[in-house]
Structure 1
Amino acid sequence: MKRNGFLTFQLGVPLAFLCFFSCQNNTSEWTTQEKEQAKKEISLRIDDIVQGAKHLDIEEAMKAYSNSDDFMIINPDGSSNNYQEMKTVNSEVFKQLCSLEFSTIKKEFRFLAKDLVLCTWFGKNNMEFKTGDKLTIASYVGSMLFKKEKGIWSIIYAHESNSTPIII
């Protein structure tokens, strides 16, 4: 009799784990409609960044980023910033520019969980400094981890890289 109880335990525990984890995986599956809606909402958040940069408006450009202790961005030079540091650095850059334009080439999405989406943005960037100098970056890539909180997608982690800026 003790043997049957042990077998039940041996079989029951793995089955319970299997059921638990398979049920959890089912909650992270996305329907085509949910994916399209998330892509649309996240694309609008990215548009906020692009438009904010175009207007040299740091508040508009930062709207899509999560102002939380968990936020981190890895910059093209290998440094990292929290939200406030990123805002300060970009504010100083914006003050030196008379124009900044990001152009989207494409976006790729990876659906990780119901509240997490990884979006990789591929684009290019042109800027003109108040000194008259002009730079172009032919390849600019940003990988952004979006988390949906209170119905809004916000970037909680980002990693940017770019080709060498060229003076034009």
Structure 2
Amino acid sequence: MTKPVLPPLTEDFHTAVAVQARAADPQHSAFVMANAGSGKTKVLIDRVARLLLRRRDGRPGAAPDSILCITYTKATANEMLKRLFDTLGAWSVMEDAPLRAKLTQLQGRPAESYQREDLEDARALFARALETPGGLRIETIHAFCARVLRRFPLEAGVFPGFAE
């Protein structure tokens, strides 16, 4: 008899997955605070992907330039952007069945609820995100504040042409 490679999943694991899924749902406000390696970046990427996707009622998802993600480090901002574009890029070339499975896993909807238009929209997100002027804004809190100060220097009481 062979031993299982991994121990059985615990109730705590299933609870954590359910909490992450709720935090990734754009219909709910969420404050995500957890230890390193616990899945915060995945939750945020899932949340952004869900915001971009066509809604169940057929309305378009959020425009890429209407989303702002703020983090503390450049490394995390770059990692988030990479993971998001990896996800959207993979969707852009996926066959129907695997794409339905990914969307079902992400959104919790039955696979059969995804119509042809939903799949085409998911496949087009990669190009839409790349081609949007200003694109997806995933940046550090410092970069965000510097951008605001450069845009509104007089209101902020700094010299025009402010530089970090």
Q: What is the TM-score of this pair, normalised by structure 1? A: 0.28
More helix by share: 2
Q: TM-score, normalised by structure 2?
A: 0.28
Pick the structure with greater CA Rg: 1
More strand by share: 1
Greater RCO, CA 8 A, separation 6+: 2
